[in-house]
Structure 1
Amino acid sequence: MENILGLLRIRVIRGINLAKRDVRSSDPYVIIRLGKQKVKTRVVKKNVNPEWDEELTLSIADVPNIPIILRVYDKDTFTPDDKMGEAEFDVRPFLEVVKMHLENVVNGTVITTMKPNRHNCLAEESYVAWENEQVVQHMFLRLRNVECGEVELKLHWIDGSGSCLES
């Protein structure tokens, strides 16, 4: 069994101004993938500004060289679900901070900042910060391959050391 560094807890907070895929609205849900892992939120009916506020968890074995992929879909009853855009984000800056094993840091301290650029899907600056004794990252991702929409996420880390996850 591979050695798990820890768990990445992704709180899918909400969607903002998502695309309409049904007549008046959409029934959106989010799928997040990292390698072979796949997690998904519940469907929010008839809402282009859905509030999921749901925590999804991925296990991280080593620092992934591949981005985490987020896709939004519109749930349909009789036809395949419609794509409502996608985004990806790199967790390496977040994991670099986790590896620092910070202690006695003032709550709210920003450790690193990522600025939006052509190579990422950030809609605005994203901060990796120390909150309530843990490393967190808050981000707004702009969806690609769609006319509009953003998804708000918050990441936090659950350390795998000393747990039954180690081999």
Structure 2
Amino acid sequence: MSRSIESMLGLLKIRVKRGINLVVSDTFSSDPYVKLKTKVVNSNCNPVWNEDLTLPIRDTNIPVHLTVFDKDTFTGDDKMGEAIIDIRPYMESIKMGLENLPNGCAIKKLQPTRENCLLDESGIIWNNGKITQDMALKLRNVESGVVEIRLEWVDVLRV
């Protein structure tokens, strides 16, 4: 087994759902994508991606950085905002080893703070045998914009 796989705790699946009220980066609109890497949605400041992206997690103390860009054909892509995803509360819930809870059971609720990018309350929920967390992230360093995502943990089998 390779050293990089041995050091991996598991995989974090991030479903990038959609963007809301993203800034207009070009003259009339933007062609946004999220740098974790989603498809580009042309001419839309309220894009729907509904894409699953998977990241290897080696250290739960390192936040995930999400950046939204406007795809440009002839010049460099323009940054449309960024958000930090603190995965520690989610990972703490995973480590609890909970099973067989009723669907929709809230394990933990997180409130928006100055340190996180949450737009509103985010619940870590037991659903269909999985622990998920839906969150609306307010983009930083930009006039407006929200990206909705869902976290889900994928265990890595060890041989």
Same fold (TM over 0.5): yes
Deviation, structure 1 residue 104: 1.3
In structure 1, the residue matched to 2:59 is 62
Deviation, structure 1 residue 27: 0.1
Extract structure 1 runs of 4+ deviating beyond 6 A: none
* TM score, norm. by length of structure 1: 0.90
* TM score, norm. by length of structure 2: 0.94
Letter in 2 for 1:70: L
The alignment partner of 1:101 has SS state of coil
| Aligned-partner Cα distance in 1 for 2:115–2:154 | 27
Q: What are the ranges of 5 or more consecutive residues in structure 1 without an aligned counterpart?
A: 32-38
Deviation, structure 1 residue 4: 2.2
| Aligned-partner Cα distance in 1 for 2:58–2:122 | 24
1:77 has 2:81 as partner: no
**TM-align CA RMSD:** 1.1
Question: What is the percentage of aligned positions where both structures have the same residue?
Answer: 56
54-63 vs 124-133, greater mean Cα deviation: 54-63
In structure 1, the residue matched to 2:121 is 125
The alignment partner of 2:69 has SS state of strand
The alignment partner of 1:40 has SS state of coil
Superposed, 1:1-167 pairs within 5 Å as: 1=3, 2-31=6-35, 39-63=36-60, 65-160=61-156, 163=157, 166=158
The alignment partner of 2:98 has SS state of coil
Q: What are the ranges of 5 or more consecutive residues in structure 2 without an aligned counterpart?
A: none
The size of the alignment, in residue pairs, is 155
| Aligned-partner Cα distance in 2 for 1:146–1:60 | 28
Q: Deviations over 1:67-118 (max 9, x none)?
A: 1111000000011000100010110100011111111111100000110011
The alignment partner of 2:91 has SS state of helix
Deviation, structure 1 residue 62: 3.4
